[in-house]
């Protein structure tokens, strides 16, 4: 079966991206985002994340509002939040020059449901930082929403180069794979 990969340009405005990036920059400075993992190794400093540190921060209301908008737009408001990491079903990562994301599949829910990520890149790297999904590179645009089952398909991000970090906000839900693959879950309605 083909991979269902949905994308919607300009889902958030440049002003919203700037506001989200300002929170990330403050979060990096205050260690709300901290070392991530690299293929099972902890304390990877090429990419920091909010994933494992939910007790260090609270997302401001505008983040929760965007999350609600994403979930409603993607037709998953009635599905469970991704609660096994992050806070409020939201994770953000910042990949620095020289950093990357190793190839992996995210875990499913404890009940075996697939993990649907609905992501928005709010800052692009100068060079690199390109999503690779099942071996195919997919260039993304700042402010674009893209969605796919991260628990079902191997994905990674190429090394970031230049002087600008890459910021990715991750929203979504735990869903039955067949609901996503069949189109029962509809985006944009």
Give the angle subtended at the CA of 47 by the CAs of 42 and 48, to the nearest 5°: 80
* Residue 82: C-alpha distances to residues 6, 93, 103, 161, 176 (Å): 19, 16, 20, 30, 13
Is this prediction's pTM over 0.85? yes
**What pLDDT is recorded for position 39?**
76
- Summarised one tens digit per residue, pLDDT across range 33-92 is 999 888 777 788 899 999 989 899 999 999 999 999 999 999 999 998 887 778 999 999
Residue 111: is its pLDDT beyond 90?
no
Give per-residue pLDDT as tens, 114-163. 999 999 999 999 999 999 999 999 999 999 999 999 999 999 999 999 99
Task: Give kind and range of the element (H or E) at residue 172.
Answer: strand 166-175
Residue 13 has pLDDT above 70, yes or no: yes
Q: What is the pLDDT of residue 73?
A: 97
Query: Is the pLDDT at 110 greater than 90, yes or no?
Result: no
Domain 6-181 CATH superfamily: Alpha-ketoglutarate-dependent dioxygenase AlkB-like (2.60.120.590)
Residue 68: phi and psi, rounded to 5, are -65, -40
Per-residue pLDDT at 1: 60
User: Bridge partners of 145?
Assistant: 8, 120
Q: Is the pLDDT reported for residue 98 higher than 80?
A: yes
77-84: list long-range contacts, CB under 8 Å, 24+ apart: 79/116, 79/173, 79/174, 79/175, 79/185, 80/109, 80/113, 80/173, 80/174, 81/173, 81/174, 82/109, 82/115, 82/117, 82/172, 82/173, 82/174, 84/109, 84/110
Q: With 0-12 CB in 10 A as exposed, 13-18 as middle and 19+ as buried, what is 187?
A: middle
Q: Is 152 left (phi over 0), alpha (psi -120 to 50) or beta?
A: alpha
Where do the domains of the chain lie? Answer: 6-181
């Amino acid at each position: 079966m083909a991979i269902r990969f949905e994308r919607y340009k300009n889902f958030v405005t440049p002003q919203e991206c700037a506001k989200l990036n300002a929170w990330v920059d403050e979060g990096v400075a205050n260690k709300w985002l901290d070392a991530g993992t690299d293929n099972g190794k902890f304390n990877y400093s090429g990419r920091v994340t909010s994933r494992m540190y939910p007790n260090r921060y609270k997302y401001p209301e505008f983040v929760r509002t965007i999350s609600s908008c994403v979930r409603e737009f993607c037709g998953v408001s009635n599905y469970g939040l991704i609660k096994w990491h992050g806070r409020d079903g939201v994770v953000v990562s910042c990949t620095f020059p020289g950093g990357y994301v190793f190839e992996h599949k995210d875990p499913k829910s404890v009940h075996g449901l697939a993990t649907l990520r609905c992501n928005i890149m709010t800052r692009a790297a100068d060079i690199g930082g390109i999503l690779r999904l099942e071996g195919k590179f997919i260039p993304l645009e700042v402010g674009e929403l893209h969605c796919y089952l991260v628990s079902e398909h191997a994905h990674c991000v190429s090394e970031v180069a230049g002087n600008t970090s890459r910021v990715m906000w991750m929203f979504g839900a735990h869903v039955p794979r067949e609901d996503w693959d069949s189109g029962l879950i509809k985006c944009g309605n």
